[in-house]
C-alpha cells in the first residue's frame, strides 16, 4: 500500500477517534501551543497576549479594522459583499494556521473554529456555510480539508448547514508558494459548482482558513455570483494585512 494511502487511512481512523471524545484526542494528538510549542494547551498563558484578534470598527466591505487604514475593498470580486476575519495573519494566529494546515494539527480545528464562530455570529441573514474546497489530489495528500473542519465547527456552534457547494476542478499550485501577481492566474477557472447543487437564491458565507492575496476567495465568490447566489460573503480565521 502506498504511503499516502496508509497516511490517509490513519487520519481517517484518528478523525473517528476525535469524534469519539476530546479525552482520546488529547492522548493521540496532545495540545501544543502554536507560539512556543509547549504542551498542554493550544495557546499557553505566555503566548495568549500574542493573540490579538481584530476589534473595534471594521470596513463594511473588506472587514479590515478601520483604524489600520488598509482598506482592500478595491481588490474584492464584484458581488463579494463582505469579508470578515477573526484576526491578522501574524504572531500566534499565523503559527496556528500553518500548523493546522501544513503540519497535521487538524485537532486544532475545534479551538480555532471557536474564534471563527464569533466572527460568523456577527453576520446576519445567511443560509449556508460553504468551505473553500481542496482538489481531490491535495485532499488525498493532506488527509483533510482545513476549511471544511472549520466550517463544521462553526456550523455546529451556530446551527447552520455546511454545504460543499464548490469543487476544485483543477489542481493548483499552493498559493503560499506564489507571488501575489501569480496567485489570481493560478486559481482562475479552478472552481466549479458541485454537481447537483443549486446556489441560486442562497445566502452563502464562504469559509477559509486564511486570506492572503484574496485570489482564492475571489475565484470562489465569482462562481457563486455567476450561478445566481443571492448574497456571497466570506469569513476566515486569519487575514494577511
Ligand atoms: Zn506558548
Ligand atoms: Zn474596505
User: How remote is the CA of residue 60 from the centroid of ligand 2, in Å?
Assistant: 6
User: What is the percent of the chain with per-residue pLDDT over 90, rounded to a whole number?
Assistant: 75
User: How remote is the CA of residue 114 from the centroid of ligand 2, in Å?
Assistant: 24
pLDDT (tens digit, 9 = 90+) per residue, 86-142?
999 999 999 999 999 999 999 999 999 999 999 999 999 999 999 999 999 999 999
Name the closest ligand to CA 83: 2
Would the pTM count as exceeding 0.85? yes
The Cβ of residue 171 has, within 10 Å, a number of other Cβ atoms equal to 11
Location of C-alpha cell 478601520: 66
pLDDT (tens digit, 9 = 90+) per residue, 143-153?
999 999 999 99
How confident is the model over 157-173, as a mean pLDDT?
92
C-alpha cell at 148: 471544511
Domain 49-239: assigned CATH number: 3.40.50
Name the closest ligand to CA 214: 2
User: How remote is the CA of residue 88 from the centroid of ligand 1, in Å?
Assistant: 18
Name the closest ligand to CA 69: 2
Confidence category of residue 1, pLDDT binned at 50, 70, 90: very low
Name the closest ligand to CA 239: 2
Q: Is 175 left (phi over 0), alpha (psi -120 to 50) or beta?
A: alpha
Name the closest ligand to CA 73: 2
User: How remote is the CA of residue 40 from the centroid of ligand 1, in Å?
Assistant: 10
Tell me if 161 sits within 8 A of 203, measured CB to CB.
no
Tell me if 232 sits within 8 A of 206, measured CB to CB.
yes
Name the closest ligand to CA 49: 1
User: How remote is the CA of residue 14 from the centroid of ligand 2, in Å?
Assistant: 41
User: How remote is the CA of residue 130 from the centroid of ligand 1, in Å?
Assistant: 32
pLDDT of residue 44: 95
* Beta strand ranges found along 80-150 (DSSP E): 80-88, 128-131
**Cα–Cα distance between 18 and 1 in angstroms, integer?**
25
User: How remote is the CA of residue 116 from the centroid of ligand 1, in Å?
Assistant: 20
Query: β-strand 166-168 against 191-193: which pairing, if any?
Result: antiparallel
Q: Which residues of 29-41 are buried (b: 16+ CB within 10 A; e: fewer)?
A: bebbbbbeeeeee
Confidence category of residue 23, pLDDT binned at 50, 70, 90: low
User: How remote is the CA of residue 72 from the centroid of ligand 2, in Å?
Assistant: 5
User: How remote is the CA of residue 58 from the centroid of ligand 2, in Å?
Assistant: 8
User: How remote is the CA of residue 62 from the centroid of ligand 2, in Å?
Assistant: 4
Amino acid at each position: 500500500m502506498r504511503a499516502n494511502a496508509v497516511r490517509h487511512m490513519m487520519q481517517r481512523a484518528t478523525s473517528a477517534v476525535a469524534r469519539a471524545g476530546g479525552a482520546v484526542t488529547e492522548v493521540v494528538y496532545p495540545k501544543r501551543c502554536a507560539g512556543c510549542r509547549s504542551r498542554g494547551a493550544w495557546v499557553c498563558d505566555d503566548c495568549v497576549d500574542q493573540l490579538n484578534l481584530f476589534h473595534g470598527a471594521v470596513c463594511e466591505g473588506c472587514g479590515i479594522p478601520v483604524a489600520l487604514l488598509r482598506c482592500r475593498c478595491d481588490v474584492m470580486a464584484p458581488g463579494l459583499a463582505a469579508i470578515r476575519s477573526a484576526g491578522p495573519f501574524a504572531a500566534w494566529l499565523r503559527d496556528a494556521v500553518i500548523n493546522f494546515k501544513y503540519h497535521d494539527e487538524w485537532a486544532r480545528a475545534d479551538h480555532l473554529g471557536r474564534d471563527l464562530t464569533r466572527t460568523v455570529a456577527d453576520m446576519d441573514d445567511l443560509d449556508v456555510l460553504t468551505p473553500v474546497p481542496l482538489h481531490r489530489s491535495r485532499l488525498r495528500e493532506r488527509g483533510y480539508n482545513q476549511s471544511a473542519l472549520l466550517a463544521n465547527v462553526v456550523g455546529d456552534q451556530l446551527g447552520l448547514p455546511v454545504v460543499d457547494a464548490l469543487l476544485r476542478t483543477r489542481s493548483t499550485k499552493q498559493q503560499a508558494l506564489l507571488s501575489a501577481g501569480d496567485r489570481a492566474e493560478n486559481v482562475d477557472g479552478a472552481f466549479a459548482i458541485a454537481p447537483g447543487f443549486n446556489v441560486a437564491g442562497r445566502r452563502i458565507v464562504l469559509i477559509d482558513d486564511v486570506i492572503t492575496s484574496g485570489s482564492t476567495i475571489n475565484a470562489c465568490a465569482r462562481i457563486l455570483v455567476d450561478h445566481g447566489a443571492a448574497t456571497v460573503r466570506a469569513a476566515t480565521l486569519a487575514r494577511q494585512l
